[in-house]
Structure 1
Amino acid sequence: MSSRLKYRRRRNDKDDTKPLCDQPQRDSPEYLQKLIAELYGVQQESLPAFTSSSTVDNELHALVGLFLRQFVLGWYKNVAFDENGEFLNEIVALIAHLTRDLQQRCLRIDWSQLLLDDLFVVLGKHMEALREAKTRVGTKFSIQDENELIANYLSLNGHFAIQLDTPERERQYMQVLVKKLMKMMLPNEEAESNLSRMFAETIFGDLILRNVVENLTDNFMLWNMIKAVSEASSRRPKTKRPFFEQLSAGSRQVGHIVAYCTSVFSSKPAPQTLVTQYAVFPFINRLVHFSNRYPLAHVVVTTTAALLQKSKKFNHLCSNVLNNLIYNRLLTSETISSAVRALRHIMFPTDEYFNTTPRYVPQTTQELEEIKLNAKIAMDKVFFHPYLDTESFLGSFEHKTINKSLMWNILDLLLINVFPELKEM
């Protein structure tokens, strides 16, 4: 590796194990600045930028620093003498290169179509395949296996890396995928170095990707995540505001709607699919059973949409609204930094050592059903529709093997959009 950073790290072996005391309030800017200084031995201003957002960088520098202290510096300082911290400099510079390249790739993606069309195509196929798999159970069309339902699902919509008879295939697929990704992401000199490439593959594959797939495919984890997102979406201020403030807030909302409908996202790629044809709409229809409950209203809505989608102005208006919602409300620096912060809290609860204690796992069926019920109650508070089939939606995440197949399909979708070169590989 060639040196890219200009800072020198202060040598202090006690810094790596020194408990954090007399700290400002956790996650405040002052707290993060102090944590970063203890982790790297320099102030954050001396570190390379990971992204174009200082808010995201604050969280990323803290998370990466904790990772390096736990999994790299702990053994490296026992096998090598590196007074100036050149090895740490190289690792941080390499990570900065990867994150900046990843950001540039993400800026080229049409996130509106990815999140509201492509993603819901995957989710829709998942729900349909699970319904069909349940229908086949006990019939001559069912696969004769101990895990009959799971085998039926995998034959209908399974990811090729998930096989009941060859569980090692998932590990093999992950290794091949990570190798391909590192070849595209690493600079030429690091990609040609076996040591650098193996280090990056180990960090990304074993410490990140494998843990994400294993931990987030448990049914109770997914239900808890759905509950947390639903509760965050349903929070409303309970204090009653004066009439003038309500009127002023209403005026601002009208202004936002006008801005959402008229602003132009010229820098964003033109959608390949009409907004009215996005898969999110039929997915919601099946979830709410709108076409079955209100057949006449469904005909009116679909006919009107079919007529309006012929208008370029209408399509432009819908595209602007969705782009504003996605880019100005969802994919913001605050949202991304909150996600990184949540990841840090899970992996390093006290910002000192990696959390090696076992996760809470429901021990009884009653505990599991209670978690599922809490997620259903939280969803019902958000959508409050009497015909919303939340039971069917939450039940689709019942089995870990099926969740793994779904997770890999979603990861493949995301990676293909971020790294289009994978299609040719």
Structure 2
Amino acid sequence: MSRLQPRSKAISTSNVSPQSAVSTVASSATGSNSAATSKDIASGPQTPVSRPGNRPSTVDPVSDRSTLFLIRRTLCSHLVDKGRSTPLPIENILPPLTSSNGVDLQLYAFIAIIIREFVHTWYTKITPDPMFVEEVVKIIAHCTRALEQRIRNVDLQSVLFDELPDLLDVHLKVHRTAHYKLHPSPLEVSPRTIYHSLWPMTCLSPVPDDDGGPLSQQQMNNEAVYRQMLVQGVLAVLLPTEDLENDCLTTLVGQIFSEMIIGGAVGGKAAEPWLLWEVITKVAEVVQNQLPRSKAKVRLERSHSDVGRMSPFDATTQMSKAGRLKWHAQKTFWLVLQYIFLAWTALRFLFNTITTASSLPPRSSARKESTKDSSHSTDHLTPNKSNIETLPIGEDLELKKPIIKMKVWSFVDSLLDLSFRMPWLSGTISMLQWAALTGFGEVGNTDGILDKILSHAIDTHVLDPSQLPSVLRNARAALFPNNAPAPPRVIPSPAEQLLIRKKCAETILSLIPAKIQDIYFGGGREKRVAEVEEVLNMFDDPYCNKHLLYGIVELLIVRLMPELAEKGVEELFEERLS
């Protein structure tokens, strides 16, 4: 069990000793009291001042200080040395979850909340012994370290921009087909039946009844069994052999992940249409807040828009002939100057991009190098690092798909319905894609100039690991406000769900410039909102959403643990325990 021991790091020290600190505080307190006494005698009675203890608490529940207090009180209160004046760092008490202390802090906050709310509530009534919770934490730590090592070997660009958009594209097309009515009322078939026939899943069979009959109960039972098998397969791959033999630990950990996380979150709340619309609204609001729109820029845009709407007659009627000529000359001069500056900036950007792309590493060898670096840097985290195999460069090249050929572009085309609305634009984009892949230099093909530029931009702006702690912190604030489960929310009524969908459509429209809205949508504001709502209806059925969510879960698990695609759960257990 030496691999589960914490990392050795330096203990934080202070430059001021406790005795000197106490004496300094005492002397300052004595001096302040004497000064206050003399001031009170000289000035007479004063108005009582409120003490700091009476002030309202403004502690941020997701701050590092509050997070550390939550983790120490929940997970390691029995491990802290009571005689120390300075507490040990959290990295020296608990086993590491990943190779990043910032990510470990946020993950341990999630673990602390789950154990406090769902384990301590019944376990402390049986026994005060904390060793059981400590063993659960060690099992989770071992699994997270193994997952981190496996993530380093996954092509995240392909997963995020090719395979996940492919699932979304399938869901969109199947949903539209299932909800397209071909027959009148007596002959029509339920959209859920058509959807399940086009995208069958064993765990979601049979199609549930609308009134919650026996078919619904049978489907719920099949779904629960599927979640248990899924989690047991993950544990059979990740857990060490000595922990896998402990039925009590594996049962508890499996129950937490299958019912509370997958069942409660993925198969429960996350499948609700109104919740998905609210998530999309919040993401759109975050993007809108990050757009660089200062007040000066808004005023400048307003002034330009006013001038643009002003007709030439209105702009020149109040000017003399000489003034009109001068005004036209100035306008032409500044317009030419702006075009020259724009062309120079574009050429400079293109030159810098081409010169930078020549020095970027090829995508085929980048995965192999990152695998080697990760295996050396995490030697102390995963004992079986020698089992990691890297593909040859030639074979890896066949697996790499060009960025511009990934499914994310076809999904955007299907989502915006460009082939129907703007066939000229869809055809132009397809021609440019073909030219980049097969034209002069093949700049868009694998390891081409354009392909390396796009890959570098994705790694820098999308897959930046330094953003992960803040993402986990925001997720914890949304899921567990004040570090506790949020009170059960009342399911919105049908009218309220329509308002949520409308707000989501309006938020999405606010991100699109007005000129692009005029070209794409046309018509008035209400017509545009209605068309965006029609696109959002791809998430209007919880049963259909479960197909998409479970498909995403299966994809991620198989990419991280390819063994599950080749062997069954029972075979994996027999292989590990034999």
Q: If the TM-score is normalised by the length of the shorter chain, which range does it land in?
A: 0.7 to 0.9
Which residue pairs with 1:218 in the alignment? 272
Instruction: Map 1:77-116 to 2 at 5 A.
Output: 77-82=124-129, 85-116=130-161
> Which string of whole-angstrom CA distances, capped at 9 and with x for unpartnered residues, describes residues 368-399 of structure 1?
11100111112222344433763333101001
Give the TM-score of the pair, scaled to structure 1: 0.83
Count residues in correspondence.
Answer: 399
Equivalent-residue separation in structure 2 for 1:256 and 1:106 (angstroms): 32
Instruction: Map 1:134-173 to 2 at 5 A.
Output: 134-138=179-183, 144=189, 148-163=190-205, 164=207, 165=215, 166-167=218-219, 168-173=221-226
Structure 1's 26 and 255: CA in aligned 2 closer, same or farther, altered over 3 A? Answer: farther
Confirm or deny: 8 A CA contact 2:273 2:542 kept in the other structure: yes
Which residue pairs with 2:10 in the alignment? none
CA deviation after TM superposition for structure 1 residue 297, in Å? 4.1
Confirm or deny: 8 A CA contact 1:2 1:90 kept in the other structure: no
Which residue pairs with 1:130 in the alignment? 175
CA deviation after TM superposition for structure 1 residue 240, in Å? 5.5
Instruction: Map 1:276-291 to 2 at 5 A.
Output: 276-291=404-419
Which residue pairs with 1:366 in the alignment? 495
CA deviation after TM superposition for structure 1 residue 182, in Å? 1.1
Which residue pairs with 1:12 in the alignment? none
SS of residue in 2 equivalent to 1:267: helix
Give the stretch that moved more between structures: 60-69 or 21-30: 21-30
Equivalent-residue separation in structure 2 for 1:142 and 1:159 (angstroms): 25
Confirm or deny: 8 A CA contact 1:161 1:170 kept in the other structure: yes
Structure 1's 73 and 297: CA in aligned 2 closer, same or farther, altered over 3 A? Answer: closer
Confirm or deny: 8 A CA contact 2:102 2:469 kept in the other structure: yes
Name the Cα RMSD after superposition: 3.3
Equivalent-residue separation in structure 1 for 2:238 and 2:186 (angstroms): 45
Which residue pairs with 2:292 in the alignment? 237
Structure 1's 259 and 424: CA in aligned 2 closer, same or farther, altered over 3 A? Answer: farther
> Which string of whole-angstrom CA distances, capped at 9 and with x for unpartnered residues, describes residues 31-78 of structure 1?
322332222224412222111122211111112112222222343333
Equivalent-residue separation in structure 2 for 1:398 and 1:205 (angstroms): 25
Which residue pairs with 2:97 in the alignment? 50
Which residue pairs with 1:200 in the alignment? 253
Equivalent-residue separation in structure 1 for 2:65 and 2:508 (angstroms): 36
Equivalent-residue separation in structure 1 for 2:506 and 2:558 (angstroms): 35
SS of residue in 2 equivalent to 1:138: coil
SS of residue in 2 equivalent to 1:417: helix
Matched to 2:499, the amino acid is E
Confirm or deny: 8 A CA contact 2:68 2:90 kept in the other structure: yes
Confirm or deny: 8 A CA contact 1:50 1:96 kept in the other structure: yes
Instruction: Map 1:310-321 to 2 at 5 A.
Output: 310=438, 311-315=441-445, 316=447, 317-321=449-453
Question: Which of these residues, 162, 176, 179, is aligned with residue 117 of structure 1?
Answer: 162
CA deviation after TM superposition for structure 1 residue 312, in Å? 5.0
Equivalent-residue separation in structure 1 for 2:156 and 2:410 (angstroms): 19
Give the stretch that moved more between structures: 54-63 or 398-407: 54-63
Confirm or deny: 8 A CA contact 1:153 1:402 kept in the other structure: yes
CA deviation after TM superposition for structure 1 residue 228, in Å? 0.9
SS of residue in 1 equivalent to 2:257: helix
Give the TM-score of the pair, scaled to structure 2: 0.62
Confirm or deny: 8 A CA contact 1:56 1:333 kept in the other structure: no
> Which string of whole-angstrom CA distances, capped at 9 and with x for unpartnered residues, describes residues 231-269 of structure 1?
112222333679xxxx9xx89988996698453254326
Structure 1's 198 and 64: CA in aligned 2 closer, same or farther, altered over 3 A? Answer: same
> Which string of whole-angstrom CA distances, capped at 9 and with x for unpartnered residues, describes residues 351-382 of structure 1?
2x444x3224212x221111001111122223
Which residue pairs with 1:377 in the alignment? 506
Question: Which of these residues, 472, 477, 481, is aligned with residue 345 of structure 1?
Answer: 477
CA deviation after TM superposition for structure 1 residue 339, in Å? 3.9
SS of residue in 2 equivalent to 1:96: helix
Structure 1's 130 and 203: CA in aligned 2 closer, same or farther, altered over 3 A? Answer: same
Quick check: 1:209 aligned with 2:262?
A: yes
Give the stretch that moved more between structures: 200-209 or 27-36: 27-36
Equivalent-residue separation in structure 2 for 1:6 and 1:156 (angstroms): 50
Equivalent-residue separation in structure 2 for 1:197 and 1:319 (angstroms): 44
Confirm or deny: 8 A CA contact 1:3 1:89 kept in the other structure: no
Question: Which of these residues, 70, 73, 80, is aligned with residue 117 of structure 2?
Answer: 70
Structure 1's 308 and 2: CA in aligned 2 closer, same or farther, altered over 3 A? Answer: closer
CA deviation after TM superposition for structure 1 residue 345, in Å? 3.0
Structure 1's 333 and 259: CA in aligned 2 closer, same or farther, altered over 3 A? Answer: farther
Which residue pairs with 1:328 in the alignment? 460
Percent of aligned positions that are identical = 25
Which residue pairs with 2:325 in the alignment? none
